């Protein structure tokens, strides 16, 4: 009973290292949730990305399960409370894709501030409009980062050379490594000084829907908004309304509340979102590079070696 069930597309490194330390891996990236429910009782380990929710119903069937390896950073698709009650250890790999997220966030910010998507589309349509595509410079701006873990700190590191003022707020961070380029502040300071806001927090019952009208109303000047964390943290209609009011200059969103078609088509705000020239979108790929694909499996494999089960 030293078997791991792999239900998602993981880099082969994880399976190779798991085999080397004595595990037998059943690698079924196309397996369905009902199929998993039928066989999960035969495994001590489950390796997953975001394929489905590892909920109480599934965990109740996982009678031999000792650990869950989440190939990525966020743990919101795992019922951590039930896992704890079942003495199941949960590991993830936020160290592995922090650089990917940091770089993608920088890219989205520069693209947004310089209207690169709009300019590219116009030229392809035979429009040469220099004034309409006049951009903003990063230097001298104040960037507010909410969430200063692996992702927020990686973004800050990459921002430092742009000559910006970096403010960071993290309600739950207990250890804070001082940095000459980053100032630890309270939320009120974020509201008062921010020119650019970037979100890097996990999805929890506390953060779900947190970025909504009351939150956005607190900002004292217009700002650029970036979300590369989780879509359900942000109320998209509220962001669109603030863009229309001129309170948000532009929004870069790698994640949305709904991330699958055709369900996304059915959202009443979807058409407004895709027609808005002040919005830049990407399909939840900030942490998903060719390099991070392998690094995630490397980090998970190392943590698997260190597990005491």
Which pLDDT tens digit goes with each residue over 232-288?
999 999 999 999 999 999 999 999 999 999 999 999 999 999 999 999 999 999 999
Residues 35 and 183 both lie in one domain: no
Catalytic residue among 17, 230, 232, 257: 230
Average pLDDT of span 142-152: 96
Residues 129 and 246 both lie in one domain: yes
DSSP H/E element including 223: strand 223-227
Residues 223 and 254 both lie in one domain: yes
Residue 3: is it exposed, middle or buried by C-beta count within 10 angstroms (0-12/13-18/19+)?
middle
State the CATH number of the domain containing residue 66: 3.40.50.720
**Which pLDDT band, with edges at 50, 70 and 90, does 172 fall under?**
confident
306 pLDDT higher than 70: yes
In the residue annotation, 259 being an active-site residue is answered as yes
Task: For residue range 65-112, list pLDDT tens digits in order.
Answer: 999 999 999 999 999 999 999 999 999 999 999 999 999 999 999 999
The percentage of the chain sitting over the pLDDT mark of 90, rounded to a whole number, equals 94
- Split into its structural domains, the chain has a count of 2
Residues 167 and 258 both lie in one domain: yes
Average pLDDT of span 201-222: 96
Residues 20 and 157 both lie in one domain: no
Residues 123 and 169 both lie in one domain: yes
In the residue annotation, 284 being an active-site residue is answered as yes
**Which pLDDT band, with edges at 50, 70 and 90, does 289 fall under?**
very high
Domain that holds residue 23: 3-95+290-306
Residues 111 and 154 both lie in one domain: yes
Catalytic residue among 56, 103, 259, 298: 259
Residues 104 and 143 both lie in one domain: yes
Please give the pLDDT value at position 83.
Answer: 95
Please give the pLDDT value at position 38.
Answer: 95
198 pLDDT higher than 90: yes
Residues 146 and 21 both lie in one domain: no
**Which pLDDT band, with edges at 50, 70 and 90, does 178 fall under?**
low
Catalytic residue among 86, 192, 247, 284: 284
Exposure b/e, 130-168, CB count within 10 A at least 16 = b: eeebeebebeebbbbbbbbbbbbbbbbbbbeebebbbbb
Residues 27 and 153 both lie in one domain: no
Residues 161 and 84 both lie in one domain: no
Please give the pLDDT value at position 173.
Answer: 83
User: What average pLDDT does the chain have?
Assistant: 95
Residues 231 and 266 both lie in one domain: yes
pTM attached to this predicted model: 0.93
Q: Quick one: angle between helices 290-306 and 12-20, nearest 10?
A: 20
């Amino acid at each position: 009973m030293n078997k791991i069930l792999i239900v998602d597309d993981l880099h082969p490194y994880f399976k190779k290292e798991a085999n080397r330390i004595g595990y037998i891996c059943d690698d079924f990236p196309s397996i369905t949730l009902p199929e998993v429910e039928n066989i999960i009782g035969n495994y001590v380990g489950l390796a997953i990305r975001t394929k489905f929710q590892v909920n109480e119903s599934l965990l109740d069937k996982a009678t031999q399960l000792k650990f869950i390896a989440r190939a990525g950073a966020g743990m919101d698709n795992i019922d951590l409370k039930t896992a704890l009650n079942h003495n199941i250890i949960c590991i993830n790999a936020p160290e592995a894709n922090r650089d990917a997220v940091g770089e993608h966030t920088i890219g989205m910010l520069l693209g947004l501030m310089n209207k690169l998507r709009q300019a590219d589309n116009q030229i392809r349509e035979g429009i040469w409009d220099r004034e309409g595509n006049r951009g903003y410079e990063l230097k001298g701006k104040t960037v507010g980062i909410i969430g200063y873990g692996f992702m927020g700190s990686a973004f800050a590191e990459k921002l430092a050379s742009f000559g910006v003022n970096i403010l960071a707020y993290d309600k739950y961070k207990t250890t804070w490594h001082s940095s000459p380029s980053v100032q630890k502040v309270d939320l009120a300071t974020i509201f008062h000084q921010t020119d650019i806001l970037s979100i890097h927090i996990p999805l929890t019952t506390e953060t779900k829907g947190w970025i909504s009208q009351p939150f956005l109303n607190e900002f004292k000047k217009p700002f650029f908004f970036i979300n590369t964390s989780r879509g359900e943290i942000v109320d998209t209609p509220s962001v669109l309304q603030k863009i229309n009011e001129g309170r948000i200059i532009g929004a870069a969103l790698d994640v949305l509340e709904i991330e699958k078609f055709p369900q996304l088509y059915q959202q009443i705000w979807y058409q407004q979102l895709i027609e808005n020239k002040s919005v830049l979108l990407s399909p939840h790929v900030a942490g998903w590079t060719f390099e991070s694909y392998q690094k995630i499996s490397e980090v998970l494999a190392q943590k698997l070696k260190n597990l005491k089960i």
